[in-house]
């Protein structure tokens, strides 16, 4: 006996006209797709962002179906390292389909705001490079657009999907009931639509769970009501605009934010929400500092029952500190502390990627590279001739080049170095067919060997001669006169004696 099909999948929209709600977002997406029919548009990728269950992924597939494009998808269940993305999405971005309109392929990356951990190492950089060079349309899907790396966001057109209105969900549920030959009353449909809180997928799943036979009544869904999660912004509104302490406290219980998180949200928004009224701000921070004392005791003693006192002080303190009703809307901001932590994590990932490349090139550990070799490479990159060779040999991205040189921003010099390095790599058919900033080495016709930095070349004594080793021969002292003669013959070949 075959298993029943989930209605959310069975009635997934096949065209953009079947997608429920978000008409403005659909128009923007369709306009972007139409630009691909004529030429490659300025924004080669688009980010569809919004809460889960409102039709972002379904819209991407409906778009591909409308335009006759083949779909290549990578989601969170797949390993999304740089190697995998270059292999799948990278190749797909340069080659079209044999079928469909113009032979286009739609590359879909689901959960683009969830590129973290070892399984996704280097994935964000690979996606950024793919978008720069792609000849095929790319759709990224994310719940939180700010969770997507800024290097990717800057290259994409952002399209926001909002919660679907209750009446639109109700109309969609009625169509499903008609197709499934289910007798339902309007009151039941309205309740399911309201309980979904704008989530179409949840509403369809709840409908399928509540149906008994071919009947649906209001009592059938009384026990299957979905617990809707409060938005952090709705809670902050009750904290900074409300007058009831209990109402504000109860609202915090419905969100997935601990007191450790709430203290950062309140700290970030307190001055702006109190319109910079000194007395109110002073009172608010007084309560916030007392709450922080309890949070510190929780961390030290691991006694989480003290969270209740911190919660009352920070939430109730904001309500009682407000001396007047501040009119007008002021946008709530996420904690800047979290943004700084995210930037630090991005820098650490960048540092680790660079260290990994240098370590692989020199057959050294990553720890040894960080402490000893990275400063050497930073000095070498100050010379333009060395910089091009190193960038090409290590296959550094522009962001990695900027980080390794210690520059605070991307300069024209660094862009030129990166472009020359890319041209150098493209001109060589095999990556091992060139040697970088190394001394002249002998190579046999049967073996190819990657150039390798020898640490002995960085001896503090400038007069000490260095040795050059090949894989098959013992070390021999380098004759300085022979080296100078060789250098005059081939000026393009650099060695560490020039440094």
Residue at token pair 């004594």: 461
Q: CA distances (Å), 182 to each of 200, 211, 264, in order?
A: 19, 8, 49
Rounded Cα–Cα distance for residues 232 and 50 (Å): 15
Per-residue 3-state assignment (H helix, E strand, C coil) for 11-78: CCCCCHHHCCCCHHHHHHHHHHHHHHHHCCCCCCEEEEECCCCCCHHHHHHHHHHHHCCEEEEECCCC
Residue at token pair 């080793």: 469
436 is in an annotated binding site: no
Token pair of 39, please? 């030429």
- According to DSSP, residue 428 is labeled -
103 is in an annotated binding site: no
Rounded Cα–Cα distance for residues 36 and 104 (Å): 9
213 φψ region: left (φ > 0), alpha (ψ -120 to 50), beta (else): left
CB distance 126 to 112 below 8 Å:
no
- According to DSSP, residue 343 is labeled H
Rounded Cα–Cα distance for residues 21 and 55 (Å): 9
Closest by CA position to 276, among listed 313, 317, 324, 335 = 324
50 is in an annotated binding site: yes
52 is in an annotated binding site: yes
- Phi then psi for residue 64, to 5 deg, are -60, -40
56 is in an annotated binding site: yes
- Phi then psi for residue 430, to 5 deg, are -120, 140
55 is in an annotated binding site: yes
Handedness of CA 195, 200, 206, 207 (dihedral sign): positive
Torsion of Cα atoms, 429 then 435 then 436 then 441, to 10°: 180
Torsion of Cα atoms, 196 then 201 then 202 then 204, to 10°: 90
Rounded Cα–Cα distance for residues 453 and 464 (Å): 16
51 is in an annotated binding site: yes
57 is in an annotated binding site: yes
Provide CB contacts within 8 A for 229, sequence distance 6+. Answer: 197, 254, 255, 256
Residues making up the annotated binding site are 50-57
Residues making up the annotated binding site for ATP are 50-57
């Amino acid at each position: 006996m075959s298993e029943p099909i989930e209605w959310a999948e069975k009635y997934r929209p096949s065209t953009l006209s079947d997608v429920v709600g978000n008409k403005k977002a659909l128009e923007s997406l369709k306009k972007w797709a139409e630009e691909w029919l004529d030429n490659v548009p300025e924004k080669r990728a688009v980010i569809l962002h919004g809460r889960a269950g409102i039709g972002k992924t379904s819209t991407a597939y409906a778009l591909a179906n409308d335009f006759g494009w083949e779909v290549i998808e990578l989601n969170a269940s797949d390993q999304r390292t740089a190697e995998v993305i270059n292999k799948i999405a990278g190749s797909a971005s340069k080659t079209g389909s044999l079928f469909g309109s113009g032979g286009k392929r739609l590359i879909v990356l689901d959960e683009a705001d969830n590129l973290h951990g070892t399984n996704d190492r280097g994935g964000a950089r690979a996606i950024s490079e793919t978008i720069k060079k792609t000849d095929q349309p790319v759709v990224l899907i994310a719940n939180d657009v700010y969770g997507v790396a800024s290097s990717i966001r800057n290259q994409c057109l952002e399209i926001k999907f909002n919660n679907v209105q209750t009446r639109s969900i109700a109309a969609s549920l009625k169509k499903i009931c008609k197709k499934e030959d289910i007798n339902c009353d309007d009151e039941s449909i309205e309740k399911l639509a309201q309980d979904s809180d704008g989530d179409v997928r949840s509403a369809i799943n709840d409908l399928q769970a509540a149906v008994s036979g071919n009947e649906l009544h209001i009592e059938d869904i009384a026990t299957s009501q979905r617990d809707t999660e409060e938005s952090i912004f709705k809670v902050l509104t009750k904290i900074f605009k409300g007058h009831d302490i209990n109402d504000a406290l109860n609202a915090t219980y419905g969100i997935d934010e601990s007191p450790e998180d709430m203290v950062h949200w309140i700290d970030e928004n307190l001055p702006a929400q109190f319109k910079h009224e000194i007395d109110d701000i002073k009172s608010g921070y007084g309560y916030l500092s007392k709450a922080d004392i309890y949070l510190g005791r929780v961390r030290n003693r691991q006694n989480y029952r003290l969270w209740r006192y911190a919660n009352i002080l920070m939430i109730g303190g904001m309500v009682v500190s407000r001396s007047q009703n501040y009119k007008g809307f002021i946008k709530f901001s996420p904690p800047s502390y979290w943004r700084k932590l995210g930037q630090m994590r991005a820098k650490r990932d960048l540092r680790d990627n660079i260290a990994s490349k240098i370590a692989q090139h020199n057959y050294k550990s990553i720890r040894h590279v960080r402490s000893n070799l990275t400063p050497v490479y930073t000095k070498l990159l100050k010379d333009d001739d060395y910089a091009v060779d190193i960038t090409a040999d290590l296959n550094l991205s522009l962001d990695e080049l900027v980080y390794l040189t210690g520059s605070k921003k991307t300069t024209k010099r660094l862009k030129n170095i990166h472009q020359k390095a890319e041209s150098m790599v493209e001109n060589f058919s095999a990556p091992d067919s060139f040697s970088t900033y190394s001394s002249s080495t002998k190579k046999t016709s049967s073996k190819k060997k990657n150039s390798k930095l020898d640490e002995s070349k960085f001896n503090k004594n400038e007069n000490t001669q260095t040795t050059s080793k090949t894989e098959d021969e013992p070390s021999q002292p380098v004759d300085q006169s022979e080296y100078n003669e060789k250098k005059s013959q081939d000026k393009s070949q650099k060695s560490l004696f020039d440094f």
